[in-house]
Structure 1
Amino acid sequence: MWFALLVSCCLLAPCVHSEPSEWAKDFPACGGQKQSPINIVTHKTRLEPCLTPIVFEGYTQTLNVTVQNTGNTAVFELPPSLRIRGGDLPDTYNAVQLHLHWGMDDEPGSEHTLDGEQYAMELSTEENQKFNQVIQALGRIPYNGNTSIVPEFRLTDILPSLEKLSSYYRYSGSLTTPGCNEGIIWTVFKKSSFISQQQLMNVTKQMRFETGKPMIKNFRPVQKLNERTVYKSTAVFLMSSGPVFLCLCLFCMFVLTENIF
């Protein structure tokens, strides 16, 4: 599983029935110059000393979280007690939602790519048992509009160790679903988690799109970088000689909205 944070003040995502290549016909912003996801070319990223470790507040809480099949993904609603700050972010932000994206069986499923790799598999023969409660919840929401509760859920059960999330990339992008609103601060973490191939198959065979077809490959293809710069934290620079171990196809996206006081 590969993790990313996006910071936004506009979170409206209308129902979509067309292919991603056709989105711009109905949603002009989807044809913009700062669209997401992107392919991160690591040797072209720029070191930014201001990208200090991000501070996660409340992420060890035990929660009862509502999960919904929205017709194109699974969305977990998070309480406002979860916040992030630091990392050169302009304010403190509340966590709003956790989204999941995946491919099909052992095929690629992440949205962002790293040096052209979509990270379908570092295949694991061992299950990530802490992820089983998420898989079970997805089995209870097969159809569009279905909801369920994930009891005693902790984000740290599916995230890599928070202390290991100091290595990340940062760029300006967009939502990855229509209306593709730009002005989004993306943070893509280098550290990943993994699940077994069987666990991934359990995810892909349980849920269905709004059309009734199996919910597979629910990710947007990478978009052109154009004139944008991708920055990297100091921790990425220090760890650049080490290997990158990534998972099967699950991609977790945390949508955050600015905390208004």
Structure 2
Amino acid sequence: MRLLLALLVLAASQPWARAESHWCYETQAKAFNNCLAPAQWGGDCQKDHQSPINIVTTKAQLNKNLGPFSFSGYDEKQKWTVQNNGHSVMVLLGDKATIAGGGLASQYRAKQLHLHWSSVLDAGSEHSLNGDQFAMEMHIVHEKENKKEAQDPKDEFAVLAFLVEAGSKNDGFQPLVEALSAIPRPTMNTTMQESISLLDLLPEEEKLRHYFRYLGSLTTPGCEEKVIWTVFEEPIQLHKDQILAFSEKLYYDREQKLKMTDNIRPLQHRGQRLVFKSQAPGRLLALTLPALLVPTLTYLMAGFL
């Protein structure tokens, strides 16, 4: 009987292990046929509160508690470490930058940023607005600082999502674009040749007052449903050549046979979840304001629990 139980446990654990170790995007699954495409991802990936979603802007509910963010350390320039992790390009942010305000119930510390893209300029974002995709999407991933003991926290991570469209050249992004040539293959790392700040990558601060908010998940396995999503309405502009550099210079595989592109998870069903939009009059909060503003997580979660 013990042997039978052990075998059953082993059999049940294999799909999870495969999803975590060998998951991939649709373009990889078609090329290699040796990894699990998004429809087969394990973990929490088949649950009901997943990301990304299509945001219908006219249906988003106004929430007056969703005011301006307070960005601390976002103006500090550094030569960031950049890596090809086999699924995206990731910038390691250390632990110096934080966000507060924006209807968040706590302060969150920035850990990393990464991007999703396509060689097709209207098919590279994970989230969409009114059914329209963008050329790319950048995620700045933050982790909650004041964690309270809870079996199933819905707000462990706060991800700031920025849509990217083709436009004029973005000098702030250029050090990251230039670093791509040094990390074509998975597990490769490099350091930017020029110091930049997080604010150098973002739209003007005044334009960050307008955003959408919903509760969802990570967009890669195990797709844990522990994310407060903020999707900003104002897109980042990059030149077409800057956008295409991501598809041209990076590869999914060590042999450099498959270019890294279309690294996006398909849209997920919104279901009964509520999507909110901000109302943030006036200028953004100064960087030195206290971290905590009016907690609204309970209000935001009311439609889910």
Calculate the TM-score normalised by the size of structure 1.
Answer: 0.80
In 2, Cα distance between equivalents of 1:45 and 1:145: 40
Are positions 1:37 and 2:84 aligned together? Answer: no
Alpha-carbon offset, residue 78 of structure 1 = 0.4
Q: How does 1:180-195 map to 2 (within 5 A)?
A: 180-195=223-238
| 2:165/2:235 contact within 8 Å kept | no
Structure 1 unmatched ranges of 5 or more: 1-12, 239-261
After TM superposition, give the deviation of residue 122 of structure 1 in Å.
Answer: 5.1
1 CA distance for matches of 2:245 and 2:226? 35
- Find the partner of 2:170 among 109, 128, 131: 128
User: Structure 2: how far apart are the matches of 1:68 and 1:42?
Assistant: 34
Question: Is the contact between residue 66 and residue 77 of structure 1 (CA under 8 Å) also seen in structure 2?
Answer: yes
* CA distance in 2 between partners of 1:130 and 1:99 (Å): 16
Other structure's SS at 1:152 match? coil
Query: What one-letter code is carried by the residue in structure 2 that aligns with 1:115?
Result: N
Q: Which has the larger radius of gyration?
A: 2
CA distance in 2, matches of 1:92, 1:53: 14
**Counterparts in 2 of 1:80 and 1:117: CA distance versus 1, 3 Å:** same
In structure 1, give the amino acid aligned to 2:248: K
Aligned length: 221
User: Would the alpha carbon gap of residues 86 and 235 (structure 1) be closer, same or farther in structure 2, given more than 3 Å must change?
Assistant: closer
State how far apart, in whole Å, the 1-side matches of 2:189 and 2:21 are: 18
Q: Does residue 22 in structure 1 map to residue 48 in structure 2?
A: no
Deviation at 1:64, TM superposition (A): 2.0
Matched-pair contact (CA < 8 Å) for 1:83–1:93? yes
Question: Within the alignment, does 1:228 sit opposite 2:243 as a pair?
Answer: no
1:252 corresponds to which residue? none
In the other structure, the counterpart of 2:190 is 148
Q: Which runs of 5+ in 2 are unaligned?
A: 1-19, 24-34, 136-163, 283-305
Which is worse superposed, 73-82 or 14-23? 14-23
Q: Which residue of 2 aligns with 1:165?
A: 208
Matches within 5 A, 1:58-77: 58-77=73-92
Query: What TM-score results when the alignment is normalised by the length of structure 2?
Result: 0.69
CA RMSD of aligned residues (A): 1.9
Q: Secondary structure at the match of 1:191?
A: coil
Q: Distance in 1 between matches of 2:59 and 2:120?
A: 32
Aligned-partner Cα distance in 1 for 2:166–2:85: 28
Q: Residue in 2 aligned with 1:53?
A: 68
Instruction: State the AA in 2 paired with 1:171.
Output: Y
Q: Deviation digits for residues 17-62 of structure 1, max 9, x if unmatched?
A: 3211111xxx141010000000001111111111011111011101
The structural deviation recorded for 1:146 is 0.2
Residue identity (%): 39
